[in-house]
Amino acid sequence: MALLIADDVHEKRLSTFIPAGKACYSACAFIFLAGVERQVDGELGVHQISSESNDLVSAQLSISDIIDMLARFDTPAEVMTTMFKTPPSQMHVFSSEEIGRYKLNRKGSASASTEPAPSNPTVTLEGAPPSTANSNSDTASEPSGQQLAAANPAPAGLGQSEKLSAIEEFARKPTRIAVYTGLDLFGDDLATKRTIDLAECARSCLEMNGTCKAFTFNANPKIVRGPNCFLKADEGRADGNAVAISGKFLASADPDPTSFSMGTIDPKRALFEDVDLPGGDIGVRPSISNATPLQCRLACIDNDRCVAFTYIKKKRECWMKGAVGTPLFKSGMISGVKTFQTFAPARIIGLD
């Protein structure tokens, strides 16, 4: 049966792919080797055929059929030798070195797909946990993409990129979205726009046909004008922000993301206007001169010794702190306190 399926795969010039974490053993290997394009990211295993019959003539005919079929698939002789040397009670799984040496991965002669581009999957983000917006200074509380957004033209040349092989296209096609609440993906903006909700923002990213890898949505209900959806060429820099909801697209070969931890100074929850934190300075001079509040906040996050900062607006000075003093009211100052946060996907949503 496997040889019949393999013959059909070969005649129809289909591509075969073993994803990471998956295995194709025994008769499955015949089907894999029949692909006009082949790629092993998982495990490919072979062994001898077995039969309860002692009919040597039938056995030789079966072996002849296998050799003839594998030869049609341009299977290297070393692969067939390995197959016939491995007892049926065992399994030889090809190593990455053998996969390269035997050229088990290959692209078809017609690598450009002639099929119409698949329609974008339906994105439904109902039930994604909402981000709560705490009251604070509006000018310092939005996702960083909006704080620094300059003119962001749409990416040039969309749809004009080199055509991919069937396997490359499959491997790059997103199958899931990992959704994070309270996480801003800073920078790497392809475009910014205003959308009705998170789902529309995610669809806008999908419609860019693989160019957009991630997005951040500003969930602050107070923001009624300007862009609230930031489409990313890459994940950029992760930054804590209570009013941000971010999504990362995952391909079939990508594992589900695990949790990660980092220091944050949340611009919505951990920045305090007209507050000074006296003492505890890391140096006797400003850590950064002629700085902006954003530059000061990010510099403190990146400095392992910094646990807080005070920014003097009039002097544009950033004072990073190694210890947090007693807060005092002082007009014209902004202070921030670093906390350690752990982020994990609130949901991983499959794309239909």
pLDDT digits (tens, 9 = 90+) for 22-40: 999 999 999 999 999 999 9
pLDDT reported for residue 133 = 38
pLDDT score of 278 more than 90? yes
Question: pLDDT tier at 302 (50, 70, 90 boundaries)?
Answer: very high
How far, in Å, CA of 285 to CA of 277, rounded? Answer: 15
Question: Do 333 and 276 touch, CB atoms closer than 8 A?
Answer: yes
Report pLDDT digits (tens) over 254-271: 889 999 999 999 999 999
What pLDDT shows up at residue 125? 56
Residue 122, burial from CB neighbour count under 10 angstroms (0-12, 13-18, 19+): exposed
- Is the pLDDT confidence value at 345 over 80? yes
- Under the banding of pLDDT at 50, 70 and 90, the label for residue 92 is very high
d(CA 155, CA 140): 28
User: What is the CATH T-level fold of the domain 138-152+164-262+341-350, as seen in this structure?
Assistant: Hepatocyte Growth Factor (3.50.4)
Domain 271-339: CATH class, spelled out = alpha beta
| For range 128-147, the mean pLDDT | 42
pLDDT of the residue at 53: 65
Whether 7 shows a pLDDT value over 80: the answer reads: yes
Mean of the pLDDT values across residues 281-300? 96
Confidence of residue 252 (pLDDT cuts 50, 70, 90): confident
- The band of 136, judged by pLDDT with boundaries at 50, 70 and 90, is very low
Query: What average pLDDT does the segment 131-157 reach?
Result: 42
Give the model confidence (pLDDT) of 41-56 as tens digits.
Answer: 999 999 988 766 676 7
d(CA 338, CA 142): 17
- Give the pLDDT confidence score for residue 60 in this predicted structure: 78
DSSP bridge partners of 106: 38
Q: What is the mean pLDDT of residues 316-326?
A: 96
Q: How confident is the model at residue 172 (pLDDT cuts 50, 70, 90)?
A: confident
Q: Where are the domains of the chain?
A: 2-101, 138-152+164-262+341-350, 271-339
The dihedral of CA 276, 282, 288, 289: what is its sign? positive
Measure the CA–CA gap between 65 and 56, rounded to whole angstroms.
Answer: 14
User: What percentage of the chain reaches a pLDDT higher than 70?
Assistant: 82
Residue 114: is its pLDDT beyond 80?
A: no
Q: What is the pLDDT of residues 202-228, one digit of tens each?
A: 999 999 988 999 999 999 999 899 999
CA distance 156 to 173: 20
Integer Cα distance of 229 and 195 in angstroms: 6
HEC profile for the chain?
A: CHHHHHHHHHHCCCEEEECCCCEEECHHHHHHHCCCEEEECCEEEECCCCCCCCCHHHHHHHHHHHHHHHHHCCCCHHHHHHHHHCCCCCCEECCHHHHHHCCCCECCCCCCCCCCCCCCCCCCCCCCCCCCCCCCCHHHCCCHHHHHCCCCCCCCCCCCCCCCCHHHHHHHCEEEEEEEEEEEEECCEEEEECCCCHHHHHHHHHCCCCCCCEEEEECCCCCCCCCCEEEECCCCEEEEEEEEEEEEEEECCCCCCCCEEEEECCCCCCEEEEEECCCCECCCCCCECCCCHHHHHHHHHHCCCCCEEEEECCCCEEEEECCCCCCEEEEEEEEEECEEEEECCCEEEECC
More confident residue, 43 or 63: 43
pLDDT exceeds cutoff 50 at 308: yes
pLDDT exceeds 60 at position 242:
yes
> Are 278 and 326 within 8 A, CB to CB?
yes
Is residue 120 pLDDT above 90, yes or no? no
Q: Does residue 28 contact residue 51 with C-beta atoms inside 8 Å?
A: no
pTM: predicted TM-score of the whole model, two decimal places = 0.66
With bands split at pLDDT 50, 70 and 90, how would you rate the model's confidence at 168?
confident
Domains 138-152+164-262+341-350 and 271-339 share a fold: yes
What is d(CA 228, CA 244) in angstroms, rounded to the nearest whole number? 10
Q: What is the average pLDDT score of the chain?
A: 85
C-alpha closest to that of 80 among 28, 15, 30: 30
